[in-house]
Amino acid sequence: MSKPLNGEDGVVEDELARFWLAPGERLLLGLPPVEAHVAARVGPAVRVPHRPVGEVPDLDLGKEHWPLPTEHVTAEPDADWADDRTVGYFAVAARETDDAIRLADHFAHSRGQARLAVSDRRVAVVYPTKLFRKDPSSVFTTHAELPANRLVGVDAVFVGQSPDVPPVVRLSFADGSVLHLRAALAARKVERARERAAGRRESPTGG
């Protein structure tokens, strides 16, 4: 595995490699948890904050105390979500059953404690098992797992209205749905994921 992009990236990659990947499976992209709301547009309906609409595991995290997104985001999340740091994800889909919404459900449900993991075999939302039971025998519990071929695009894109907002990760799925995730060093992580997917030799810095 290549040299980490920073300390946080090193921890994320190491944990997923040791506690999530199956033998012979290759990690393409792992992102740290994002402690922020999820915004979504499902058909014509805007949901800010998004609440799970599909099946999610039983989880008691107590009362939510996060500040709510601004009125600009609740009115028009497509243009403004990235400018509001209370929002960490934005999903766009035609149907509630689309892949981007399935993943978004779990990011909303876990309140920023689950993370994205993409390998050459699967795309998944990974929860810390300690959220479900004391003294767990495993570090991670996987939910919303999709076959890797459901993911048809991974990009780093600029969104929002402010010029100082860094790029975010965009996942595009075969059903036409899209999930954006806020991530530090998004462009370099996407470049590295593409190199890994293509089987190319990664640069020493991973960028």
Give the total number of structural domains in the chain: 1
204 within a domain of the structure (yes/no): no
Tell me the per-residue pLDDT of 4-56, one tens digit each, with 9 for 90 and over. Answer: 899 999 999 999 999 999 999 999 999 999 999 999 999 999 999 999 999 99
pLDDT of amino acid 207: 34
Residues in the chain: 207
182 within a domain of the structure (yes/no): yes
d(CA 18, CA 70): 39
Lookup result for tokens 């921890």: 11
Mean of the per-residue pLDDT values for the chain? 93
32 within a domain of the structure (yes/no): yes
60 within a domain of the structure (yes/no): no
157 within a domain of the structure (yes/no): yes
Tell me the per-residue pLDDT of 175-204, one tens digit each, with 9 for 90 and over. Answer: 999 999 999 999 999 999 999 999 865 544
In sequence order, the β-bridge partners of residue 154 are 171
pLDDT of amino acid 44: 95
Domain that holds residue 103: 7-53+66-198
Residue 49 preceded by cis peptide, ω within 30? yes
149 within a domain of the structure (yes/no): yes
In sequence order, the β-bridge partners of residue 93 are 42
